[in-house]
Amino acid sequence: MKVTGIAAIGKNRQLGLNGKLPWKNDSELAHFKSTTKNGILIMGRKTFDSIKNPLYGRKSIVISKNLSGGDKNHFYVNSLENALVLARFIKNVDQNVFVIGGSNVFKQALPHISELIISEVEYDGDADTLFPSFEKEYECVEMKVCNRPSKEDRFTVRKYCKKM
């Protein structure tokens, strides 16, 4: 099963601040939504809290030590390993599996992630969660600059593959 990591980061790998994204970038969010459409999303409980509701048209697998249950589009599991087992079990042939964060979940999942889709946004400020360092294990294979009239809406997407 191919596992893709997808994240938006600032200039210094910033991911989050006070349980939210540190920036507002609607174009990048639209890119996230279209890329993950119909997919299976694996995330930490705090990331799920920040999204508030399962994203429409996707299945969410939420990792938590304390929570269990869920419904047909949203499941709780108690480890990354169980998240991957469940994703393999529920996955249809046309569904992609994405790890969407946060910080510690990315760190745990990197050994399983063959492809990273990283948006770099125009943000240079504070953060309390960072994307882990990944550049040694991955090489950039594609880059797309998404230029927008407003600076806040600009971002650059880089696709990385794990080095052989």
Ligand X SMILES: NC(=O)c1ccc[n+]([C@@H]2O[C@H](COP(=O)([O-])OP(=O)(O)OC[C@H]3O[C@@H](n4cnc5c(N)ncnc54)[C@H](OP(=O)(O)O)[C@@H]3O)[C@@H](O)[C@H]2O)c1
Please report, as ranges, the residues that interact with ligand X according to CB under 6 A: 7-8, 15-16, 19-21, 43-47, 50, 63-67, 78-80, 100-105, 108, 129
Interior CA angle at 101 toward 95 and 105, to 5°? 105
CB nearer to ligand X: pick between 65 and 151? 65
CB nearer to ligand X: pick between 67 and 141? 67
Question: Distance (Å, rounded) from C-alpha 6 to C-alpha 28?
Answer: 11
Question: Distance (Å, rounded) from C-alpha 68 to C-alpha 58?
Answer: 19
CB 28 to ligand X: min, Å: 9
CB 109 to ligand X: min, Å: 9
CB 164 to ligand X: min, Å: 27
CB 93 to ligand X: min, Å: 27
CB nearer to ligand X: pick between 1 and 67? 67
CB nearer to ligand X: pick between 81 and 142? 81
Q: Cβ distance 14 to 130 under 8 Å?
A: yes
Q: Is the peptide bond before 125 cis (omega within 30 degrees of 0)?
A: no
Handedness of CA 81, 82, 83, 88 (dihedral sign): positive
Residues 6+ apart with CB under 8 A from 126: 14, 17, 22
CB nearer to ligand X: pick between 16 and 39? 16
Using CB positions, name the residue nearest to ligand X.
Answer: 102
CB 56 to ligand X: min, Å: 18
